[in-house]
A and B are shown apart, each in its own frame.
Chain A
Amino acid sequence: MESVLEQSVAANPELFCPAVFGRAVHALSRVGDELWLDPTVKGLALRSVNSAQSAYACFIFSPLFFQQYSFMGCVPKQSSKTVKCKLLMKSLLPLFRCLTSIERNVECCQISVSASSDWVIIQFFCRHGITKTHNLRFQEKEALQAEFASHLCTNVLKAPARLLGDMVMHFPVFQEEITLSATPLRFSLRNYEESGESQVKMMYTEMSLHPEEFEYFHVDVNSEITFCLKELRGFLSFTESHCLPVLVHFDSAGKPVCFSVEDTLFEASVVLATLIESKSTDSIQPVGIQVHATSRYVDAAALRVHACEGHGETGRERITSSQGSTVSPQPDPIPPLPQTQQANKESISVNTSPASSMVCTLLFKALSSEHDDNVCAATPPVLAGYSDEEMMEEFCPKSPSL
């Protein structure tokens, strides 16, 4: 496996469809307050994690998504750290806040990241010759990467585009957590309230449907998992706007659940930690969740894989509030097994491995989708001709090797 290129580089992708990119930013803004922008030769990755480290989202746009994707980089020797840039969501989100006006007015959008200076420069080339330039300062941070062994999950579902959104809309907007329950015969969602006095007077909602409604429904182990709804909603609004079916990988309570979508030009996923129910009492006890291993796809399983062990045995601190979080965002390179130092309810351990290479190879194994919508056509037309045709070919490879 090749080592990943460091990107103390200048990458100049130009966006074919800024609105799609903007929707990804919106979805990520519902997860965390910071966005990791990670340009690599394989594509542009955007990632975010919430403060409780119970939700992680990742959007990866392949170079094909862009009209022009140029990635110039020095290739230093393998260093243990990769440098990524981290932006504040509140600096980035306002640029993409009004998607309809972006769709109407912005003809072209250019993002440049230069590690030599600390700026990310986003330029919108709008109609009537107007150019808006935004300079955002980024912080160099360790990479954010949660790894999730989806191929080890016993339960896999594939839901058609609108199904999950239609289910989730029955729950009030302020509903924080939701319990998903799956058996081979039935799939249901219900709202979750922490035990306590308020439980008595809460309105309970449950929605259930038959496995027939899914494109693919494979439940080996009956399971009930409880996770945060808010972060999922942001992801679902993105997937619905692209009419993409959603893959759900999950296991038993305590193990994370992953919702993911793929398209020829991008892929997106959100990984959510789930509550573990203690057998001794009825109340929910939080636990640090270990997430190891690598990519989602079977063919990449040859890479370093740690089994998902240690669930449920680690730090059983009881936290009364559901947002208990004193976790610092500094990830350890190798996640320690007992996470007793983390006094939060759920967490996903994050890694600074050179994992982006693995993730990037997946872009080109994307499943073909009949749901390509108009903006993400396989070969985007060039809006303005470029003189450097060779440069485009060089930096927009069809094969993953470089």
Chain B
Amino acid sequence: MKTERKLEKQARTVRSGYLYILSLALSASRDTAKMDLNMDSNAPHSMGTTIIGVTYNGGVVLGADSRTSTGMYVANRASDKITQLTDNVYVCRSGSAADSQVVSDYVRYFLHQHTIQLGQPATVKVAANLIRLLSYNNKNMLETGLIVGGWDKYEGGKIFGIPLGGTLIEQPFAIGGSGSSYLYGFFDQAWKEGMTKDEAEQLVVKAVSLAIARDGASGGVVRTVVINSEGVTRNFYPGDKLQLWHEELEPQNSLLDILNSPTPEPMNI
């Protein structure tokens, strides 16, 4: 469906037959770097994304980057991909921004009613199941991968991964989004059972930061949400304060700052 809409727009603004064919070939796969000369700001917003959910001894830590892209253009560089479903359950969203928002909104509504009927907070499992039912039953129309994490009094901290097709899988930790491809090996080595809250949060921040370094579709800031029996804590790690990895350059606020320095060189390598 996305490709059809793209085709229509491109047909209207095409400059030459050759360019048209080239852009068709390039935009056939969503993962290739698109040199879209005819960039379409009305194209569906996709969250490149890195999302992570990790259980620790006493609760869960959810983490995400903050980049929402429309093709090559970063539509929102400070988005909040960790949304609240109930007081004790949050969800990390990836894939199509619209699809994930709509699914979250429906589930928030159902959970609200469920909480009222039950007379007590909903469990993480129930929240995850509701998300799964929507994802699975509408799998032909949706494109969103979600990580549900929270704390309830029966099971403690739990993480459920609900990838594209609508599987529901309970995991001690879950990763998702385009940036997660670069984190599988990292987690195999760095993950351990029964971490403390601080260890878990440091792990999540480090992981998102590594993914941002390598994945073009992830970037911006790192947001984390810690959920345990005491409640929910939101944390924010600005992009320029993150640790630099191999071959990364120092962040610069503006290239214009170089002009004000004593020896203005166009590029300081």
Chain A bound to chain B? no
Name B's A-contacting residues (CB within 8 A).
none
